[in-house]
């Protein structure tokens, strides 16, 4: 299962950049074209030429093509499609490119698990087939684990790791898409204002946005938006991220999931303004992975690995502590029980106290204090005792100097 990488995203970003520049330059021509038919004709010609150029772009720069040039039929594994697309385009693979990667990538069991996890991502949870496919995937993972052979454990670790990375990428993309639509909805109310200039500007922006969406859809965005059409909402994807993290933990390979979650600072920032249900799902993932953080390290770990783990803990706290302070307590029921919340508070304190005292602890506790203070709806997590201990230690350090 091929992970989303900067190389696979590059053509999309390049097309976006060129499209944005083109439509920005088109604004003056748009107003003039409304007055002169010749300019209107020229403008349509320019737009057609530009769209034709975008369509040729992948062939002009093969290295930037979003799919592997030697294996086009594998593209369904990199981008989620709607059922109608997968039904017609799917070609079974029996070679080593089955998506698991590494030495286990050529095995049938690795390809089977990869395919099952891909389908779990793609179909809606409301489908009667969803539980069937997820149950099959869970059975394969558990049976590989029970067998105890290193080759099967490596299949689990490799395939699950790739699936976690892909699902996390889809979750972030869906959260970005939802945030964009929310902003569009908020800005849409201003079009009926009294200022004629603002009204005309909004009309132009709306037209540009529409054209941009048409171009973007034609060159790949429809594949990402297929997530929503196929039922892969952000909340569903967050639940699957948690499930995959739990499976990775059972296989003794959760550190990679912790690292990826700790680095997902953009998603963490989007989560602060997300819908309460999505916030609750992300809190559950964070709570589970913070528990895994506590068990990372030990006396037998080398110094270099300890330093890496300390940096991961720091990223984890800086990224997700604000959400814990600001997230809703739950729409219908509490996201975490009282016992779970108390346990997580202790874990957070222990994790903070493993950081470098003067610098890193101050950054984390300052961040906590800000979000804890300015969130009127929650008094959790309560890290006052940890903050007081840091103040005492900092005071003693100053006096020693």
Q: What is the pLDDT of residue 196?
A: 46
Query: Phi first, then psi: what are they for 383, rounded to 5°?
Result: -110, 25
Which pLDDT tens digit goes with each residue over 216-266?
Answer: 444 444 434 443 433 458 999 999 999 999 999 999 889 989 999 999 999
Q: Which residue has the higher pLDDT, 115 or 328?
A: 115
Last residue of a domain, one of 199, 223, 253: 253
Q: Which domain holds residue 119?
A: 1-253
Which pLDDT tens digit goes with each residue over 176-227?
Answer: 988 887 776 665 544 444 444 444 444 444 444 444 444 444 444 443 444 3
Structural domains counted in the chain: 2
Do 221 and 360 belong to one domain? no
Last residue of a domain, one of 200, 224, 253: 253
Picking from 64-73, 90-99, 229-238, 337-346, which range would have the lowest pLDDT averaged per residue?
A: 64-73
Q: What is the mean pLDDT of residues 272-277?
A: 90
Do 104 and 210 belong to one domain? yes
Q: Could you give the C-alpha distances from 401 to 1, 39, 392, 394, 397, in angstroms and in order?
A: 55, 75, 15, 11, 6
Do 90 and 132 belong to one domain? yes
Q: Give the DSSP per-residue string, 168-206.
A: HHHHHHHHHHHHHHHHHHHHGGGGGSS-HHHHHHHHHHH
Last residue of a domain, one of 235, 253, 271: 253
Do 345 and 317 belong to one domain? yes
Q: Which two three-digit tokens encode residue 378? A: 């929650």
Distance CA 17, CA 24 (A): 11
Residue 22 above 90 pLDDT? no
Picking from 155-169, 278-292, 296-310, 381-395, which range would have the lowest pLDDT averaged per residue?
A: 296-310
């Amino acid at each position: 299962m091929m992970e989303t990488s900067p190389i696979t995203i590059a053509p999309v970003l390049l097309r976006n950049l060129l499209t944005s520049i083109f439509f920005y330059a088109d604004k003056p021509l748009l107003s003039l074209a409304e007055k002169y038919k010749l300019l209107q004709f020229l403008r349509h010609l320019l737009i057609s030429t530009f769209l034709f150029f975008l369509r040729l772009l992948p062939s002009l720069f093969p290295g930037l093509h979003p799919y592997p040039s030697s294996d086009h039929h594998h593209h369904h594994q990199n981008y989620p499609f709607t059922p109608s697309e997968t039904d017609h385009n799917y070609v079974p693979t029996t070679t080593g490119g089955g998506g698991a990667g590494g030495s286990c990538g050529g095995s049938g069991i690795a390809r089977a698990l990869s395919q099952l996890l891909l389908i779990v991502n793609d179909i809606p949870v409301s489908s009667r087939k969803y539980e069937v496919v997820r149950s099959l995937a869970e059975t394969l993972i558990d049976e590989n684990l029970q067998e105890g052979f290193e080759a099967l454990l490596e299949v689990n670790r490799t395939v699950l790791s790739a699936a976690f990375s892909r699902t996390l990428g889809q979750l972030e993309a869906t959260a970005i898409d939802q945030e964009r639509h929310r902003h569009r909805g908020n800005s849409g109310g201003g079009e009926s204002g009294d200022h004629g200039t603002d009204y005309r500007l909004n009309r132009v922006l709306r037209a540009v946005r529409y054209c941009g969406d048409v171009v973007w859809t034609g060159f790949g965005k429809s594949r990402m938006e297929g997530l929503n059409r196929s039922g892969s909402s952000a909340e569903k994807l967050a639940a699957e991220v948690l499930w995959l993290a739990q499976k990775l933990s059972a296989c003794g390979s959760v550190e990679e999931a912790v690292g990826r979650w700790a680095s997902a600072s953009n998603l963490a920032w989007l989560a602060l303004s997300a819908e309460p249900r999505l916030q609750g799902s992300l809190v559950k993932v964070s709570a589970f992975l913070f528990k895994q953080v506590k068990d990372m390290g030990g006396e037998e770990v080398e110094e270099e690995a300890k330093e890496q783990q300390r940096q991961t803990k720091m990223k984890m706290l800086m990224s997700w502590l604000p959400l814990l302070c600001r997230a809703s307590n739950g729409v219908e029921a509490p996201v975490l029980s009282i016992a779970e919340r108390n346990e997580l508070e202790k874990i957070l304190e222990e994790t903070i106290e493993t950081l470098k005292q003067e610098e890193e602890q101050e950054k984390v506790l300052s961040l906590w204090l800000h979000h804890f203070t300015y969130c009127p709806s929650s008094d959790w997590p309560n890290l006052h005792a940890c903050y007081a201990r840091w103040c005492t230690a900092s005071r003693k350090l100053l006096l020693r100097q």
